[in-house]
Structures are given as structure tokens and as C-alpha cells.
Amino acid sequence: MKRLCLGLLAVLLLFVGVLVVRALMVRPANAPLAAPEPEVIIDQRQVSRKLSRALQIESVAQRQVDPYFEGQLTRMADFIEEEFAVVLAGVSFERHERNLVLRWHGSQPELAPLLLLAHLDVVPVERDTLEDWTWPPFSGEIAGGAVWGRGALDDKSSALAILEACQELMQSGRAPRRSLVVCLGFDEEIGGARGAALQAGRFEDEGLAPYLILDEGLALLEGLVPGVSSPVAAVGVAEKGYATVELSVAGEGGHTSMPPRQSTLGILALALARLEAQPMPARYHGAASAFLRPLAGEMPFLQKLLVVNDWISAPLLEARLSENPGTDALLRSTTALTQASAGVADNVLPLRARARVNFRIHPSDSIAAVLEHVRRTVDDERVDLQLAEGAWEPSQLSATTGAPWQDLKRVIEASFPGALVAPSLVLGATDARHFAGLGAPIYRFSPMRLGAEDLARIHGSDERIAIRDYLAMIRFYLRLIEG
Ligand SMILES: [Zn+2]
């Protein structure tokens, strides 16, 4: 017995030893600290003023056609044509409605082209939040070293930074190595059906086969990953799918003086409570592990121990990450109860009760898996289930090996010395999903620094970008485009 115990102890010690050694072997994988700057001097005053003017245009994408905002969206496209006339004169340029496409012939045209995406529309500013803005949202105020306004982060800064980079290169007599295609949409915030989706179809028809596609999505995160002090360049290699399920219960209705034991509303409420109590399964392996692994070298020892040995610690990591909505969403398809309606008066039983539940689908799930989960979880034939229109599957996973990824990683590391590059999952939706048919790897990364306080500014109040960060964005695109 004693020998057996000693034997087990030895095995246990060996096992722990292996885990610890694996953790100790992981070193920080930061980019080299000193990177040469591209030999281009950017006129800080000029580029920030131009961005400011772009932010003054109220190019709000609206689901319901509104003549004022339609005019503003047109003004935005006109603005680009006028302000970047020098660039557009040197490239081939197409305008479809307000979707802008620019093509610059590379010095090695036999190479597959680079496709850069951005959008010029923005989300509206809610009236009750106007007071929260330090400067009016469409003032484009330049103050405190930043340019302020709706679109400063999402996504006019990217659109303009790409064009500024083209202009700088052109004016210094340089050209990209690969041909460059830039596509600027005008309805990303409402799904991209008229802009990106139609343009993607045109690209498919002409057989455009990009080397890589880069769109917005994630960014350079500072102080946002617990235990990691270096900035983390989170690059979206996939984005979630989307499905809304409508639940409805029909009943007898009638007078509330003699109610049945279960009303339509009660049955629906139970179904909703079940869905919320039982989320879809979490999976650490995949998006979460791919993101955390490259960061392990910098984590405190215990955290590192878990991440490096995730073949055994995955359940622990899942439990930990699911405590926070931001990281929980990396693990699973999320369930959000969003709309409900029933009843017309307090003394009438509702004939019908309805609700909508929105799912953001993890790449390891599908629309079919969501429907199956809802059916099994609700487990009540009285509840009718329908998939609402406008669902889409999660994207494919873009490779994190191979030349396109390595090239992008190199440009990020050169632009943001000391940053850790980590592939991740975009939890929302971007225009990029429309371009999946082109068959190229799609990466979703805005080259902008985001701290904890900046996250709330995206689609929120006091959206702004530091001029220093905007210049870094231009330099990033310069490197990427020049190749
Ligand atoms: Zn955006």
C-alpha cells in the first residue's frame, strides 16, 4: 500500500512538474522595441483638420430612408472625392451610389492585390445622450490633442487614414508593390446590403482574388487583458453569426376573472427563463485559446500555468472566463432576450404572447445548432419557434499561418513596437463578411489604440481619437500598402 502511495505521489509530482516546466518555457513574444519609421513626414495639422471636416458630416446610416441623412451620406462621398482628388487622379476610381472603390496598380501587378475595407457611415447619436458629449458629436472639434466626433473611432478614421497613406506615398513618388483595392462602404452600420454586399458581388463577378482582406473589427488593446501589460493587437480572424428566434404562444384569451392555470404569457415566460438559464455550451478551445496563448508569456505565473496547459485546465478557464460577459462571448453562442409583447388590457387574457431572442453564433456553432438548442431547451410544444429573417452563419476562420498572416503580423509589430499580436473573434458584425466569397483570408483589425475608457466611446458618447494615434494609423497603412 505504502509503495503504491509513493508511486502515485511520484506520478503526481512528475505531472505537476511537466505543467510547471511547460509554463516556465513560455516567454513573452513581444514585437521588437525599435522599429524604423517609414520615411514619410505627415503634416499633422493638415490630416487632423481633414479628419475633423469628415466628422462634421452627419453621415448617419438609417434603416428607414430619410432625405436629410441620405443627403449627408452623399455629401460624405463627395467630400472624399474632393479632398482626395490628388489620390483619385492617380488611380482608377469607381463610385456606385455612394460606395467608393479605388484601385492603385502595383509595381508588381502579377501579385495578388491587397483589399482594404472601411466605411463612411456612422451610427446615430441618441438625443438623451447629447449632454454627455464634451463637444457636440458632429462638431469635429480639435481639442486636447484629439479630434472629437461620431465616427472618430468607427470608422471614418480608418477610411481617411487609408487615403492619407495613399496620398503620402504618391506624393513622395512611391507606389505599392501589390496592387491595392480600397472599398469604402456607406451602410455598414445597417448591414451593408447596398454598399459592401453589392460591391462584393461585383468583385466576385470580375474574379478579384485578393492576397488578404483587411477590415475594421478589433484593435490595439491597452490594459484590457487582465495580467497582460503590453498592448495586445487583437486581430479578428473570424466573426460571429447572427440569428433571431421568434417564440410565440397562442391561447384562448378571455376574462381574467376565470383564468386558466397557465396563460400564454406564463408559458412564454417559462420558455424565456429556460433559455436564459441554459446558455449554449462554452468551448475554451478555439477563439479563446487562440487569443490567450500568444499572451501567456506575459501573464502572472498561475494564469500562465492554466493557459499553457489548457489541454487539462480548459474547464477551469471556461468557468473563469464565463464570469464576464466580454469573455463569455468568446466561449459560446450568446443568448439575449430582446423583445416581448402580449396583452392589451390588465383585465384581458392575451390571445397571443410573442418574444424575440437574439443569438450571436460562435464559429463552432451554426444557425441549425441554435434552433436545435432552442427546441431542446424550451421543450414545450405549445411554444411555436420561428427563425426570423436576416440570419447569417458565423464566418470561416482565417489562417494564422502562411504568408498573408505573417505579413500582416509584421506590419503590426513594426507599427506598434512591443505589441503582442493575438488572433481573436469579432463578437459583432462587420462588412467583411460580405467578402467571404472572394476566398481570401479576412482579418479584422483597426490600427488604433483602445484603452478601457475608449470602448464605451464606440457607438457611445465622446467618441474621439488622439491625433498621435491617428498618425500611427496612417503610418500603419503606409507600411501595409507599400508592402
Ligand atoms: Zn464600424
Q: Which domains does the chain have, with CATH numbers?
A: 44-217+426-482 (3.40.630.10)
For the record, the C-alpha cell of 166 comes out as 495613399
Residue 121 annotated as catalytic: yes
CA 226 / ligand 1 centre spacing (Å): 26
CA 188 / ligand 1 centre spacing (Å): 7
Torsion of CA 195, 198, 201, 206, to 10 degrees: -80
pLDDT band with cut points at 50, 70 and 90 for residue 18: low
Which pLDDT belongs to residue 33?
Answer: 63
Read off the pLDDT of each residue in 197-213 and give the average, rounded to a whole number: 98
The H or E element spanning position 410 is helix 403-415
Residue 188 annotated as catalytic: yes
- Exposure string of 292-310, with b = 16+ CB inside 10 Å and e = fewer, is bbbbbbbbeeebbbbbbbb
* Listed residue (428, 425, 281, 424) closest to 360, CA to CA: 428
CA 140 / ligand 1 centre spacing (Å): 18
Yes or no: say if 180 and 192 are a contact pair by the CB < 8 Å rule. no
The answer to whether the peptide bond before residue 155 is cis (omega within 30 degrees of 0) is yes
Read off the pLDDT of each residue in 376-392 and give the average, rounded to a whole number: 97
Strands 232-239 and 212-221: antiparallel
Sign of CA dihedral 409, 410, 415, 417: positive
Which pLDDT belongs to residue 387?
Answer: 98
- Identify the weakest region by mean pLDDT among 34-43, 268-277, 340-349, 378-387: 34-43
CA 215 / ligand 1 centre spacing (Å): 9
Sign of CA dihedral 6, 11, 14, 15: negative
Calculate what percentage of the chain has a pLDDT beyond 70: 94
Which residue is catalytic, options 58, 121, 215, 454?
Answer: 121
Yes or no: say if 160 and 119 are a contact pair by the CB < 8 Å rule. no
* Listed residue (31, 33, 32, 30) closest to 297, CA to CA: 30
DSSP secondary structure string, 38-82? PS----HHHHHHHHHHHHTS--B--SS--HHHHHHHHHHHHHHHH
pLDDT band with cut points at 50, 70 and 90 for residue 39: low
pLDDT per residue over 95-123, tens digit each?
A: 999 999 999 999 999 999 999 999 999 99
* Listed residue (57, 245, 217, 236) closest to 150, CA to CA: 57
CA 245 / ligand 1 centre spacing (Å): 25
Which residue is catalytic, options 188, 239, 298, 310?
Answer: 188
Structure letter (DSSP) for residue 364: T
CA-only gyration radius of the chain, Å: 26
CA dist 66 to 75, 99, 426, Å? 14, 18, 30
* Ligand 1 (single-atom ion) residues, CB below 5 Å: 154-155, 216
CA 189 / ligand 1 centre spacing (Å): 6
pLDDT band with cut points at 50, 70 and 90 for residue 25: confident
Which pLDDT belongs to residue 289?
Answer: 94
Structure letter (DSSP) for residue 266: H
